[in-house]
Copies of this chain bind each other. A is one copy, B any other.
Amino acid sequence: MKIDVAASPLLTDLYQLTMLQAYLDNRMEDTAVFEFYVRRLPAQRNFLVAAGLESALEFLSSMKFSREDMEYVASTGRFKKNVLDYLENFRFCGQVHALPEGMVFFPGEPVMRVTAPLPAAQLVESRIINILQLHIMIASKAARCRLAAGEATLLVDFGLRRAHGAEAGMAAARSSYICGFAGSSTVAAEQLYGIPAYGTMAHSFVEAHSGEEDAFMDFARSNPGNVTLLIDTYDSLRGAEKTVRVAEKLAAEGIRVRAVRLDSGDLLELSKCVRQILDNGGFPGIGIFVSGDMDEYSIRDLLSAGAPINGFGVGTKMDTSADAPYLECAYKLMEYAGTPRFKKSKGKATVPGRKQVFRSFEGGLFRGDVIGLEHEELAGERLLKEYMRDGKIIAQPPSLKDIAKRAAEQMRSLPESLKLLEAAAAYPVSLSAALVELQRRAELLLDQKSAR
């Protein structure tokens, strides 16, 4: 069977369906409110960046059980007719509030709030978490790379091959682009999202030729508008010398060598030597681009040590968010049938209620956030916006360029300490008095419930 799993409503956990059976049997179809949030920051993060909303909304608005899906569900023998009828006619009909993509957020703050009849709001949980975690994780890592690189250095996503599958590769291209990368090596990201594609040559290209200079000349003549030469296949310094000779020949043909790429070795030393060889050879305009094991730490270390590097290809460590390859995130029931709900599980307790985040500024910088209730009137900017009503997306999604602009503004508004790559004192996030009171009342209610 060939199906696009990424669009399948059955890309979910079995318990969503077993719970559905019980909800329908017991007519538990009142309105439920779930919120997606991150419980704790990974050790090496001072903030997170919202991303993946467009993909989540697309999933919700197009979610539909096909004939094949229904045949499979029926064939399992696990479910009664009420579940089969429900799924066959299912269209997500709820309301979604969320942080705009590109917005900085902190632990405990709702990133997305889903309001819908309980069976529907529950059914979408697994894939919503699966999508949002992925995009947020990579956007947050990419933002750190951009902070480390400063605004002038070229950053390009090179990570498709080590990303965890197709969707992760695409999400990496998109999430890094909205957090300040210039583009991605992933061609499908240009095709589908309009993200500029970057790329040069592989070592195999050099190896397949009888010599490096032949390889460089062939490549440049075939791709005259995009000449970056990979010079570390055999010996980076000799590769730089050959670049000078090749650049002279190519100049005579009207072709400009834009850059060389280094992918191995001591990149600080090599970049300095290569810079000198290129300068002495009369090519101060040929840039130096490096790749191989790059992340925010190596970018910072190389640049602060004075490496004359003009751009970085950031791959594996960003696309896998290698130092924090998952987020402690959750999609939790906050209200059902008008009553606040929460769990007390050790280390995983929730704060009930329909929440909004209020952010205050001082001198253009974030000063502190208050998590309050939806209808409270508190000081500060209300961060959650409505994106979907009755299952319909209510506004065109912003362009990736506009999201990138927002993310760049957010970076400029970060307090300096949060821009550091190491863990800083936590950004102040507090609960409003009304939310604290709601939590207290819910605990009282719980003591009655749990007696039952």
Q: Which residues of A pack against B, CB within 8 Å?
A: 1, 3-6, 8, 10-19, 21-23, 25-26, 28, 32, 34, 69, 72, 76, 78, 80, 118, 122, 125-126, 129-131, 133-134, 158, 160-171, 185-188, 190-192, 197-214, 218-219, 221-223, 225-226, 232-235, 238, 263-265, 316-317, 320-322, 325-327, 329, 332-333, 336-337, 341-348, 446, 449-452
Contact = CB atoms under 8 A, between A and B. Distances in A.
Given A19-B219, A218-B25, A11 B322 contact: no
A346 B234 CA distance: 9
Contacts of A218: 22, 25-26
Given A191-B10, A226-B18, A5 B208 contact: no
B14 A192 contact: no
Given A166-B5, A185-B15, A452-B210, A161 B126 contact: yes
7 contacts: A5-B188, A12-B187, A18-B199, A167-B168, A207-B343, A211-B450, A233-B343
A450 B234 contact: yes
Contacts of A72: 190-191
Contact of A25 (B205, B222, B233): B222
Contacts of A219: 18-19, 22
B170 A208 contact: no
B15 A199 contact: yes
A207 B342 contact: yes
Given A161-B126, A168-B164, A199-B15, A221 B332 contact: no
A234 to B, nearest CB: 5
Given A14-B198, A317-B326, 8 more contacts: A11-B160, A11-B187, A17-B199, A21-B223, A34-B204, A125-B161, A162-B329, A265-B345
Nearest to A265: B346
B233 A69 contact: no
B316 A320 contact: no
Contacts of A326: 162, 316-317, 320, 322
Contacts of A171: 164-165
Given A134-B164, A264-B346, A344-B234, A6 B4 contact: yes
Given A32-B208, A211-B449, A343-B203, A165 B197 contact: no
Contacts of A11: 160, 166, 169-170, 186-188
A69 B131 contact: no
B10 A203 contact: no
Contact of A130 (B21, B163, B201): B163
Contacts of A322: 325-326
Contact of A18 (B122, B161, B223, B452): B223
A316 B211 CA distance: 47
Contacts of A131: 165
Nearest to A165: B167
A22 to B, nearest CB: 4
A346 B262 CA distance: 11
A206 to B, nearest CB: 8
A207 B333 contact: yes
A356 to B, nearest CB: 21
Contacts of A199: 13-18
Contact of A201 (B18, B134, B167): B18
Nearest to A220: B22
A257 to B, nearest CB: 14
B69 A191 contact: yes
Contacts of A344: 233-235
Contacts of A13: 158, 160-161, 185-187, 199
